[in-house]
Structure 1
Amino acid sequence: MLKRIIWLLIAFPAAALLVTLAVANRHSVRLVLDPFRPETPVISVVMPFYGFLFAALLVGVLLGGAAVWLTQARWRRTARVRTSEAKRWQMESDRLMRERDADVAARAKAIAPPDKRNAA
């Protein structure tokens, strides 16, 4: 519950800041993607300035997430290997416990209680 409250205390001001930024920067801007002829570009994009800001934010989040995911690949691999080892050891332990229980039961049957008639 506390985690959710803290998240909301951060999310609402961030959302208000983004909306304010979008309203203040709603005029159209031309992004020229042709560095050789900027006066008559072959490729250009015209959209509101906040669109470029949000696109840059989105690209940054995606690149950051991809970078973190790639750098943590080693830890995910280690976790997979150790999980499979733990499962294998658990199955071995279960098998040995079944064998022990079967052995104890077989020994208990082999050592029959003395017959009451032959007891002296």
Structure 2
Amino acid sequence: MIRKILAAVILVPLAIALVALALVNRHAVPISLDAFNAGDLSHAVQVPLFVLVVGVLAIGVVLGGVATWLGQGRWRRAARRAEWELGSARAEITELKQRLADAEDEGRRWPPRALQRPAA
């Protein structure tokens, strides 16, 4: 509940600021990737300023997410290993419970199967 309230307190003003930025900065700006000849705008692309700002922000969020995902690889690997160990431990427990039940059944019989003579 508190997480939803905190998200609303942060995201609502951020959305309002983003909409205000888009409304105020609708004029086109040239984008040129030619760093050696900044004055030549023949290959420049004209885009609204808010598109540039929102696009750069989106690229930053995606790159940050990818970097975080790659950085957490060892934790995901450790979690997979722990799940595998848990599965094998559960299988071993099941097998040991079955062996214990078999041993208890064997202890209730007299004479034990090992001492019984084969049927003729």
TM over 0.5: yes
Paired amino acid for 1:109:
R
In the other structure, the counterpart of 1:71 is 71
Paired amino acid for 1:90:
R
Q: CA deviation at 1:8?
A: 1.2
For structure 2, the 5+ residue unaligned runs are 112-120
Q: Distance in 1 between matches of 2:49 and 2:83?
A: 49
Q: How does 1:1-120 map to 2 (within 5 A)?
A: 1-41=1-41, 43-110=43-110
For structure 1, the 5+ residue unaligned runs are 112-120
Q: CA deviation at 1:109?
A: 3.2
**Kept in 1: contact 2:30–2:41 (CA 8 A):** no
2:109 partner SS? helix
**Kept in 2: contact 1:34–1:42 (CA 8 A):** no
Q: Distance in 2 between matches of 1:55 and 1:110?
A: 82
Q: Distance in 2 between matches of 1:68 and 1:92?
A: 36
In the other structure, the counterpart of 1:118 is none
Q: CA deviation at 1:100?
A: 0.4
For each residue in 1:61-98, what CA deviation from the matched residue of structure 2 results, as whole angstroms up to 9, or x when unmatched?
01111111111111111111111011111110111011
TM-score (norm. length: structure 1): 0.83
Q: How many residues align?
A: 111
Q: Distance in 2 between matches of 1:43 and 1:89?
A: 64
Q: CA deviation at 1:41?
A: 4.5
* Pairwise CA RMSD: 1.6
In the other structure, the counterpart of 1:114 is none
How much identity, in percent, do the aligned residues show?
33
